[in-house]
Amino acid sequence: MPSDLTDIPRTLWPRHIAIIMEGNGRWAQRQGLPRIEGHRRGVASVRRTTEECARLGIEQLTLYCLSSENWKRPQHELDFLMHLLEQYMIEERATIMDQNIRVAVIGRRDGIPDSVEREMEKTIAMSSTNTGLRLCLAVNYGGRGELVDAVRRIAERVHSGNLAAAEITEKTISDSVYTAGMPDPDLLVRTAGEMRVSNFLLWQISYAEIWVTKHCWPEFSEQDLQLAIRDYASRDRRFGGLKEMTPQ
């Protein structure tokens, strides 16, 4: 099969791929390595996947980097994750600019160390005029928390008299969540064989196609990404409707 997917009509490709990156710790334990080594290897998978999406011309890639529930993990692991995020923001800037990638970060900022937040903002600003792949990183993110924040924004508009309750529509909510202005995910990928959405993009994945691989995130390759895209392209997306029948 062509490695550039040229045998698949471009109209069948996903515009936006979202990935729940699961299994760093399990992969490390299977290798007899500490969990933090799994996170380190996971960064290499982020790099591979991002570069492959940029090469293929995918419009957006959203990665679930740190959930709001992950703060329950041991402090030394959280400190290492923050270190990796800060390091990534610094070391990947040249590649981000060379490949015309635009970086966005969604999630609450409380709990993020100041030094990490500064580097995130620097990379976001530096890449803001790029026109290629949008790389959206979900950091300290939770889908329910996102909806709470969206409801608060909408309630403030209603309270101030700028919006009537009867005028609230699905678009009002889409314009109030963290991903406002971004396309909803077409394809949701989950690694490590887990069959749940884990509080990720709950509003946005209403009609996303789900593809699960048993490979842990450090094992996720360009070939896995292409398999996911191929499978997506083969599906009949009806969005709740019925496929048109050919008259007999």
Q: Is residue 153 part of a domain?
A: no
d(CA 67, CA 143): 9
Q: How many domains does the chain have?
A: 1
Q: Is residue 148 part of a domain?
A: no
- Which pLDDT tens digits describe the chain residue by residue (248 residues)? 666 799 999 999 999 999 999 999 999 999 999 999 999 999 999 999 999 999 999 999 999 999 988 888 889 999 999 999 999 999 999 999 999 999 999 999 999 999 999 999 999 999 999 999 999 999 999 999 999 999 999 999 999 999 999 999 999 999 999 999 999 999 999 999 999 999 999 999 999 999 999 999 999 999 999 999 999 999 987 766 656 554 54
pLDDT of residue 1: 61
Q: Is residue 43 part of a domain?
A: yes
Three-state secondary structure string covering the chain: CCCCCCCCCHHHCCCEEEEECCCHHHHHHHCCCCHHHHHHHHHHHHHHHHHHHHHHCCCEEEEEEEEHHHHHCCHHHHHHHHHHHHHHHHHCHHHHHHCCCEEEEECCCCCCCHHHHHHHHHHHHHCCCCCCCEEEEEEEECHHHHHHHHHHHHHHHHHCCCCCHHHCCHHHHHCCCCCCCCCCCCEEEECCCCCCCCCCCCCCCCCCEEEECCCCHHHCCHHHHHHHHHHHHCCCCCCCCCCCCCCC
Neighbours of 225 (CB within 10 A): 24
d(CA 186, CA 194): 19
d(CA 172, CA 207): 18
Q: Is residue 240 part of a domain?
A: no
- Contact status, residue 58 vs residue 15, Cβ threshold 8 Å: yes
In total, the chain counts a number of residues equal to: 248
CATH code for the domain in which residue 198 is found: 3.40.1180.10
Q: Is residue 170 part of a domain?
A: no
d(CA 205, CA 245): 27
Rounded to two decimals, what is the model's pTM?
0.93
**What strands lie across the sheet with 16-20, from one edge to the other?**
102-106, 134-141, 60-67, 16-20, 187-190, 209-212
pLDDT of residue 114: 96
Q: Identify the CA nearest to 197 among candidates 138, 150, 149.
A: 138
Boundaries of domain holding 93: 12-142+184-233
Q: Is residue 112 part of a domain?
A: yes
Q: Is residue 214 part of a domain?
A: yes
